Chains A and B, each alone.
Chain A
């Protein structure tokens, strides 16, 4: 493989696969790196900690100057307020359903198209791919109103399924996977498979898909998080209050002058934590996959 396009992380058989870099380990430079990395970790984790501080105190504690810096004992009370104000669990269930369906469909549709673009030639290929790139730059908000009219015409307004199709029309996945497949799936392998009589779809299913699993994991996280956190479109299309998603409910907490901040923060915490926890548990494999080749830290 050439090295000119490093997006193809997981080359299959790289003879120059790194030997363990033991020598680097004991040098003081490693310490500097750790210090900088730890500082970055603190910055990225701090907001979660501070959210917990605010969620466990009362609004009055937050408004004090200086505010209370320590954890308080009002978490349950704030959570109760959240549960009384919005339909937290119902909207969370809706969000889980939508995000799961969207992710599965995105993975299938995008990988199939990306595989085709990366490995086959057919009339119109360049034009089709070019359109895709061009449209990636178009603001999605541009489409909101016509999309709404469209949804209304097919009778999907207010229904959860209305959230799925616009999320599928996102070109990033194809862009990212095509890049990966081009270099990560060797032409020889496909060629060999074809000599063995494997058709187009078997080449996709049996050869390409297993090889791009790491890239798929990354796209899965990306798509799932995107669907989970989508805000503007659900806000508009979900007119039926029995079918709203978590973000819409969450934004409901933060309107008007009369903000009960500790309650809002408890809501923010409750809405973010599940995703963060699920991510933290499963991400080890996922991210390790996306950046395959890493020497696993112990």
Chain B
């Protein structure tokens, strides 16, 4: 995402290779391998930079790096959380391979991710474009559309649970008034995923819209004026000008949404909290059982911490593979 554009006046040649230790990163200069690259001198001369990033990395080391690798260690153990650990090698991963619930949870996660990310990003892009085009009530729209994102998942999940309830929910009551018999929103395996996805879409569309809006507003209007003079309609302008220019920012939101979407956990957990029994985690038919929820169930409810760690690590590797494949495809598509 940081591919340096070739144009731009920002390079500051007189400082390349200069004596100052805290040098500018000549990001618009010639590619690596030339004089632009700082020579490796004493690391100490960069102490200011290291000091500046150190607070984050120290906390990061203690609260992300260490815990994550500790959990990798756990994935090779059998541990109930209290007793002694027992090294079991790859056994947890072998169990994982033949565990249908694990694969079901992966399918659920991916389906929920697609069902929520696609409408969220499309909706956000359309809304941002519309919002960019209007003049009146802009401030009002921005706030009203962003507001879902400042609510808590707990509150929203409770709300959705009430509105989509099979027996007393508002949605079924409204359908009932036009003669449609109650829809089993919270027991049909597909509809459960739809409800969870709706919930996530509702929460995140406004947020992505704001990010898109920021991008749109940085596009000089002269480009649009030129397009208009060429006789391009709004739809063509959207696809041929807006979308290509917005490409990096769209990629940014796709990455963020992927990370958030694949980590869905609280939504199904709170939505089905009423069925506290182990068996029903994730709702009827485990249709709302996401991978992270399965991890939580295995580790914290079944006291199987080693298996829980194996679940998350296997899932993480799977994401990496997905991202890598995705990356290859987009990179290839980019070249002529």
Contact = CB atoms under 8 A, between A and B. Distances in A.
B25 A288 contact: no
B320 A229 contact: no
Interface residues of A, number: 128
Nearest to A204: B52
Interface stretch (A23-31, A77-85, A86-94): A23-31
Given A41-B145, A62-B162, A123-B43, A150 B66 contact: yes
Contacts, number: 360
A72 interface: no
B96 interface: no
B121 to A, nearest CB: 15
Contacts of B299: 145
Contacts of A204: 52
Nearest to B201: A43
B266 A232 contact: yes
Given A116-B52, A201-B48, A291 B142 contact: yes
- Chain B contact surface mostly: helix
Contact of A7 (B8, B214, B220, B263): B214
A190 to B, nearest CB: 7
Given A66-B173, A295-B138, A280 B12 contact: no
Contacts of B46: 122-123
A204 B155 CA distance: 39
Interface string A200-240: 11001000000000000010010001001101100000000
Interface in B1-57: 1-2, 5, 7-12, 15, 20, 22-28, 37-38, 40, 43, 46, 48-50, 52-53, 55-57
B143 interface: yes
A158 B248 CA distance: 43
Contacts of B133: 24, 29-30, 33
Interface stretch (B100-108, B269-277, B280-288): B269-277
A143 interface: yes
A34 interface: yes
A109 B55 contact: yes
A37 B131 CA distance: 7
Nearest to B8: A2
Interface in A105-132: 109-110, 112-113, 115-123, 125, 128, 132
A272 B130 contact: no
B158 A254 contact: yes
B274 A7 contact: no
A265 interface: yes
A105 to B, nearest CB: 9
A188 B134 contact: no
Interface in B116-147: 123, 126-127, 130-131, 133-147
Interface residues of B, number: 127
Q: Is the interface of A mostly helix, strand, loop or mixed?
A: helix
B167 interface: yes
Given A231-B266, A255-B273, A294 B138 contact: yes
A139 B312 contact: yes
B70 interface: yes
B149 interface: yes
B278 interface: no
A13 interface: no
B8 to A, nearest CB: 5
Given A251-B273, A279-B147, A6 B135 contact: no
A191 B220 CA distance: 26
Interface in A1-58: 1-11, 14, 16-19, 21, 24-25, 29-30, 33-34, 36-37, 40-41, 43-45, 47-48, 50-51, 54
Contacts of A179: 1, 252
A98 interface: no
Contact of B274 (A9, A66, A194, A256): A256
A287 B295 contact: no
A67 B168 contact: yes
A198 to B, nearest CB: 11
Nearest to A168: B59
Given A7-B214, A119-B25, A128-B53, A47 B156 contact: yes
24 contacts: A16-B220, A16-B222, A34-B136, A37-B141, A47-B148, A109-B56, A113-B52, A120-B25, A135-B60, A139-B312, A141-B295, A145-B81, A166-B63, A169-B56, A169-B63, A187-B27, A250-B154, A250-B158, A255-B273, A268-B155, A272-B155, A287-B142, A291-B214, A297-B134
Q: Closest 5 A-B residue pairs measured CB to CB?
A: A297-B138, A143-B67, A146-B67, A121-B25, A229-B152
